[in-house]
């Protein structure tokens, strides 16, 4: 059964409050999203296996732990997911990055993939899908489905704010995918915005409106 993990660390909560604030400008917003993604990576990678290696410190030979051959891919959902990539790369610099873009067909209302470029060896990698806002869950569930169709087995979803509706949709479709978030907010409004949320994450990251 998939889990939802909420990061209640004071640093995460503090920075999250700052990005929620409508007075936070684009520069700070970007920096804070970057820092939040980096802090959350710490927990998202907690289950990575380690192995012992032999090293020599300036003082003595020692056995010490390293991460055991994990290969990671980060897949941001365009466009707001892009804002979280660098923060993760700061802790996992060798990770490869794929991109997936989706739009909602105005007639069927179903998500349609308009862009997808993934590392060739992505099936061998642990994939972290990133999107700051898990709102209806439609895009995230579709992105996970498209990635499963390409043979990817190990996936986690990292967001900053989730709506209960989005969590339900993702877990109904993909009960094997764990969700990591900094907050679960109250609800979605009639325009599909998370309440209280932070507004449009893409617009706030890129200074568009
Ligand atoms: N996407 C956003 O950027 N914000 C929301 O509140 C919902 C979806």
What is the 8 CA–ligand 1 centroid distance (Å)? 21
Asked if this assembly's ipTM is beyond 0.90, the reply is yes
The answer, yes or no, to whether residue 101 has pLDDT greater than 90, is yes
The pLDDT, as a whole number, for residue 106 is 82
The CATH class, in words, for 4-48+68-206 is alpha beta
The C-alpha angle 178, 31, 99, rounded to 5 degrees, equals: 50
Give the length of the chain: 209
Tell me which of 79, 163, 182, 198 to substitute to probe ligand 1's pocket, judged by most ligand atoms within 8 Å of the beta carbon: 198
Residue 1 above 80 pLDDT? no
Mean pLDDT computed over 181-195: 96
| pLDDT tier at 112, thresholds 50, 70, 90 | very high
Per-residue pLDDT band for 209 (boundaries 50, 70, 90) equals confident
* CA–CA dist 9, 39 (Å, integer): 9
Per the annotation, does 194 bind a ligand? yes
Q: Which residues does a 6 A CB cutoff place in the pocket of ligand 1? A: 80, 133, 135, 192-194, 197, 200-202
**Ligand 1 centroid to residue 16 C-alpha, Å:** 15
pLDDT (tens digit, 9 = 90+) per residue, 189-204? Answer: 999 999 999 999 999 9
User: What are the catalytic residues?
Assistant: 104, 108, 200, 203
User: Looking at the chain, which runs of residues are DSSP E strands?
Assistant: 4-6, 50-56, 61-67, 72-76, 96-97, 99-104, 111-117, 126-130, 133-134, 155-158, 161-162, 178-181, 183-184, 187-188, 194-195
Q: Using CA atoms, how far apart are residues 161 and 135, in angstroms rounded to an integer?
A: 8
Tell me how far apart the alpha carbons of residues 80 and 71 are, in angstroms, rounded to a whole number: 24
The token duo for 105 is 């067909």
Specify the DSSP class assigned to residue 201: H
Stretch 13-19: mean pLDDT, rounded?
98
pLDDT value of residue 58: 98
Q: Give the pLDDT score at 107.
A: 83
Please provide residue 60's backbone torsions phi and psi, each rounded to the nearest 5 degrees: -165, 160
- Domain residue spans in the chain? 4-48+68-206
pLDDT digits (tens, 9 = 90+) for 114-169: 999 999 999 999 999 999 999 999 999 999 999 999 999 899 999 999 999 999 99
What pLDDT digit, counting tens, does each position of 53-88 carry? 999 999 999 999 999 987 999 999 999 999 999 999
């Amino acid at each position: 059964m998939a889990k939802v993990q909420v990061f209640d660390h004071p640093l995460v909560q503090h920075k999250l409050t700052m990005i929620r604030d409508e007075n936070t400008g684009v520069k700070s917003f970007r920096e804070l999203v970057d820092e939040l993604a980096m802090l959350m990576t710490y927990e998202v990678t907690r289950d990575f296996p380690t192995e012992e290696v032999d090293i020599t410190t300036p003082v003595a030979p020692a056995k010490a732990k390293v991460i055991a051959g994990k290969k990671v891919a980060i897949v941001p959902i365009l466009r707001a997911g892009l804002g979280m990539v660098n923060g993760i790369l700061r802790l996992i610099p060798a990770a490869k990055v794929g991109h997936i873009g989706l739009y909602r067909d105005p007639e069927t209302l179903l998500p349609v993939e308009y862009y997808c470029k993934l590392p060739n060896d992505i099936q061998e990698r642990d994939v972290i899908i990133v999107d700051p806002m898990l709102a209806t869950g439609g895009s995230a569930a579709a992105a996970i489905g498209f990635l499963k169709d390409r043979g990817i087995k190990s996936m986690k979803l990292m967001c900053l704010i989730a709506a209960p509706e989005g969590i339900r949709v993702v877990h109904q479709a993909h009960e094997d995918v764990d969700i990591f978030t900094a907050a679960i907010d109250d609800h979605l409004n009639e325009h599909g915005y998370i309440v209280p949320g932070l507004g449009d994450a893409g617009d706030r990251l890129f200074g568009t409106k």
